[in-house]
């Protein structure tokens, strides 16, 4: 283990102990050899934060540990059904209330990126940030023509900090795979690898700007979601400038209620937006915690979402996309055998899995959740129970689906907060069925044919010269077909052995039949017939067993 990784592991435990999160330390098996160092240290017993609540101490510890841990707290904060209220309230502050870095530092970083004074591009830059998050913070400003914008700036030193924490995660994942057998089903190394790609992508604000531009194009003219305009001339890898949204944070329930918001429609629209992004566009905002979502209330009866922070987006392979849609629809229709069959076909469980057993397990999990409002259903609990069921069938966690699962949990958390009576099945089913119909419609088939026609035409153009060359080589006796001689030798050996086994079976059967006739005709000596029969039976059984094996 590299020294800097070991030092970081020690630092993590020291922070947890200093904030009196002793239970976390005791639960961390990898740290047990080092615990005594901290428990005997004087600063363990005399701490400034000893009078704070446990939620506040956890929040402060996550902030001190850095951006990856803050993001973990942000994800947890959306699942109030899985957390005690005091911890959920404190973690919610991580969404847009992380301590900022000085505005003067932000101004200097922007000017360094532009290579010129900030005032030549933007005016009225406010050094006090509007919000600060784990990776970056945002400031208000104006373009030269007076349009309101926000300026997003990366925190200084982020890349080095995140690269170290990723290395720590790889170390812990490797230890888990080596020493804790059940973790192998969870594929911890692959999970860290997927997360590494996601979090490193967040460090490139040009990528985030491109994500926003794509999402805006996907929802052009939509009454469901508004995406702010990107001002490309002012964007750099560590600076992003986009239109400022003047909406109400979705977490401000009191203000939304005061303005007469239709919460039922708002919650249903959120579910429709999610499934539309995943299945129709195959491009979804994957960081939908409340700090990134606003509500535009030009008409309270028709509330409209507005999204910000596009650093994390997700896409799916077409195969996974189709299997997911079919799984959702099978669950909606209570066709649990179809769910089990799809899991086998997709390779998410081994091919030798008994479909009837898995069908029974899925039914046991899903049947109780139907015909109940969202407030009585926890997708988090359902997912955990599904994972428990898959473990029985040696099912593998699919790392490429983790972003989708995380986003689905975020959507559920928002829906539960806005309108607990939401029927997520009723809302999502029409979107999925429409997408499935569109996939097999004549228009979709023609579109796919049109898209593949240039490639097919290139292949057709290449065939005549290749065919002519093959004919010429055949006529000249120069046509050669490469053959794997090793494979041929193995095949020849296998066929020879198979022939010998068949011969032994035949000879054994003939001997056995001869012995039966010997005894049936009462020929002497009898011992000769018994010996022939025994030899034939033993030879036949031996050859048959070899053939089966």
- Break the chain into its structural domains and give their ranges: 3-92, 160-199, 249-464, 501-548
State the pLDDT confidence band at 538, using cuts at 50, 70 and 90: low
pLDDT at 383 over 80: no
The per-residue pLDDT for 502 is 59
Q: What would the pLDDT profile of 495-504 be if each residue is shown by its tens digit?
A: 666 666 655 5
* Angle formed by the axes of helices 526-548 and 485-520, nearest 10°: 150
3-state SS class at 251? coil
State the pLDDT confidence band at 231, using cuts at 50, 70 and 90: very high
Structure tokens at 525: 């000596």
Pairing of strands 239-243, 136-142: unpaired
pLDDT at 224 over 70: yes
Least confident of 65-69, 342-346, 418-422: 65-69
Q: What would the pLDDT profile of 251-289 be if each residue is shown by its tens digit?
A: 889 999 999 999 999 999 998 999 899 988 999 998 887
State the pLDDT confidence band at 233, using cuts at 50, 70 and 90: very high
Beta bridge partners of 295: 248, 305
Q: How far apart are CA 50 and CA 48, in angstroms?
A: 6
State the pLDDT confidence band at 198, using cuts at 50, 70 and 90: confident
Q: How far apart are CA 19 and CA 220, in angstroms?
A: 48
The per-residue pLDDT for 339 is 87
State the pLDDT confidence band at 139, using cuts at 50, 70 and 90: very high
Structure tokens at 375: 């407030």
Per mean pLDDT, which of 342-351, 462-471, 478-487 is the most reliable?
342-351
Q: How far apart are CA 275 and CA 281, in angstroms?
A: 9
The per-residue pLDDT for 342 is 87
pLDDT at 164 over 60: yes
State the pLDDT confidence band at 49, using cuts at 50, 70 and 90: very low
Catalytic residue numbers read 287
Please classify residue 397 by burial: count the beta carbons closer than 10 Å to its beta carbon, then call 0-12 exposed, 13-18 middle and 19+ buried.
middle
Q: How far apart are CA 406 and CA 76, in angstroms?
A: 10
Helices H / strands E in the chain, number of each = 22, 10
For all residues of the chain together, what is the average pLDDT? 77
pLDDT at 163 over 50: yes
Pairing of strands 225-226, 304-307: parallel
The per-residue pLDDT for 216 is 96
Q: Are 332 and 425 in contact (CB under 8 A)?
A: yes
Closest Cα partner for 398 from 352, 345, 347? 347
Closest Cα partner for 212 from 245, 255, 259, 186? 245
Q: What own/partner pairs with CB < 8 Å and gap ≥ 24 does 137-144 have?
A: 137/98, 137/100, 137/101, 137/106, 139/103, 139/106, 140/244, 141/241, 143/231, 143/234
């Amino acid at each position: 283990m590299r020294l800097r990784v070991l030092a970081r592991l020690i630092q993590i435990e020291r922070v947890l102990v200093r904030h009196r999160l002793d239970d976390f330390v005791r639960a961390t098996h990898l740290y047990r050899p080092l615990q005594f160092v901290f428990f005997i240290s004087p600063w363990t017993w005399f701490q400034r934060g000893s009078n704070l609540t446990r939620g506040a101490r956890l929040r402060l510890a996550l902030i001190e540990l850095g951006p990856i841990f803050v993001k973990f707290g942000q994800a947890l904060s959306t699942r109030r059904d899985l957390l005690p209220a005091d911890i959920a309230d404190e973690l919610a502050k991580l969404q847009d209330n992380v301590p900022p870095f000085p505005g003067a530092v932000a101004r200097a970083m922007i000017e360094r990126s532009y290579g010129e004074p900030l005032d030549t591009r933007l005016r009225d830059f406010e050094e006090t940030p509007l919000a600060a998050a784990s990776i970056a913070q945002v400031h208000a400003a104006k373009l030269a023509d007076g349009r309101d914008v926000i300026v997003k700036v990366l925190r200084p030193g982020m890349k080095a900090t995140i690269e170290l924490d990723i290395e720590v995660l790889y170390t812990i994942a490797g230890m888990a795979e080596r020493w804790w057998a059940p973790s192998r089903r969870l594929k911890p190394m692959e999970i860290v690898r997927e997360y590494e790609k996601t979090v490193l992508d967040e460090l490139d604000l040009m990528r985030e700007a491109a994500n926003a531009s794509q999402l805006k194009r996907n929802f052009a003219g939509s009454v469901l979601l508004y995406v702010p305009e990107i001002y490309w001339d002012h964007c750099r890898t560590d600076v992003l400038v986009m239109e400022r949204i003047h909406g109400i944070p979705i977490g401000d329930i009191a203000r939304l209620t005061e303005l007469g918001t239709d919460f039922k429609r708002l919650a249903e629209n959120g579910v429709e937006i999610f499934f539309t992004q995943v299945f129709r566009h195959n491009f979804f905002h994957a960081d939908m915690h409340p700090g990134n979502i606003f509500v535009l209330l030009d008409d309270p009866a028709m509330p409209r979402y507005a999204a910000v922070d596009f650093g994390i987006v997700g896409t799916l392979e077409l195969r996974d996309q189709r299997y997911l849609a079919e799984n959702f629809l099978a669950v909606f229709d209570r066709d649990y055998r179809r769910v089990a069959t799809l899991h086998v076909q997709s390779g998410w469980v081994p091919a030798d899995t008994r479909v009837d057993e898995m069908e029974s397990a899925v039914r046991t999990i899903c049947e109780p959740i139907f015909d109940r409002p969202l407030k009585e259903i926890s997708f988090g609990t359902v997912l955990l129970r599904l994972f428990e069921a898959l473990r029985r069938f040696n099912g593998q966690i699919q790392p490429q689906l983790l972003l989708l699962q995380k986003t689905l949990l975020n959507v559920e958390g928002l829906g539960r907060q806005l309108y607990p009576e939401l029927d997520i099945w009723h809302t999502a089913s029409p979107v999925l069925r429409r997408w499935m119909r569109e996939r097999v419609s004549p228009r979709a088939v023609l579109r796919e044919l049109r898209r593949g026609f240039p490639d097919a035409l290139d292949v057709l153009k290449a065939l005549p010269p290749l065919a002519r060359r093959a004919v010429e080589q055949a006529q000249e006796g120069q046509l050669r077909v490469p053959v794997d001689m090793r494979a041929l030798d193995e095949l020849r050996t296998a066929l020879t052995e198979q022939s010998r086994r068949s011969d032994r079976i035949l000879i054994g059967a003939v001997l056995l039949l001869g012995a039966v006739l010997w005894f049936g005709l009462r020929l002497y000596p009898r011992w000769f017939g018994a010996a022939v029969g025994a030899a034939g039976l033993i030879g036949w059984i031996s050859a048959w067993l070899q053939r089966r094996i």
